[in-house]
């Protein structure tokens, strides 16, 4: 049965940045927090730093199998989520090692390659919807 003592959250993209800070705040507010991370090793490292009731979970929001596996784990362990934070996102795709200026310039819709735009949309729009 769900009550104030059993608050369970899943934060996607929680091994770094804003997602990590959200997970940290939730742990500090008595949530059990699933730290969603594409790379489970990075998620486990974040959990070590977060401590408390943080739990690493492998989650790639662009992979339906990964989403299904995460759902199954949460259902098996708690049966529900109190809170879903859809934080995972990318700002760009394409050639690694580009400078910030190159990345920003390549994001203009008039010059950005369609494949890069599709990758961003697959993650930030369709992946977010799939996880929800």
pLDDT in tens, 20-33: 999 999 999 999 99
Q: Domains of the chain, with CATH numbers?
A: 1-88 (3.40.50.720), 90-132 (no CATH)
Burial 85-101 (b: 16+ CB within 10 A, else e): bbbbbeebbbeeeeeee
User: Which are the contacts of 115, defined by CB distance < 8 A and separation ≥ 6?
Assistant: 93
Kindly report the average pLDDT of the chain as a whole number: 90
Place of tokens 């090793």: 41
Phi and psi at 19, nearest 5°, equal -60, -40
pTM of this structure: 0.86
Place of tokens 């700002």: 91
């Amino acid at each position: 049965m769900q009550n104030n003592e059993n608050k369970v959250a899943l934060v996607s993209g929680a091994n770094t940045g804003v997602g990590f800070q959200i997970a940290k705040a939730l742990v500090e507010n008595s949530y059990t927090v699933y730290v969603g991370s594409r790379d489970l090793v990075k998620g486990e490292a974040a959990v070590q730093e977060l401590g408390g009731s943080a739990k690493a979970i492998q989650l790639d929001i662009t992979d339906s199998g990964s989403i299904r596996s995460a759902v199954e784990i949460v259902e098996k362990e708690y049966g529900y989520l109190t809170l879903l934070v859809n934080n995972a996102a990318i700002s760009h795709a394409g050639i690694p090692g580009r400078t910030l200026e190159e990345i920003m310039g390549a994001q203009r819709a008039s010059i950005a390659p369609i494949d890069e735009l599709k990758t961003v949309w697959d993650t930030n729009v369709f992946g977010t919807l799939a996880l929800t």
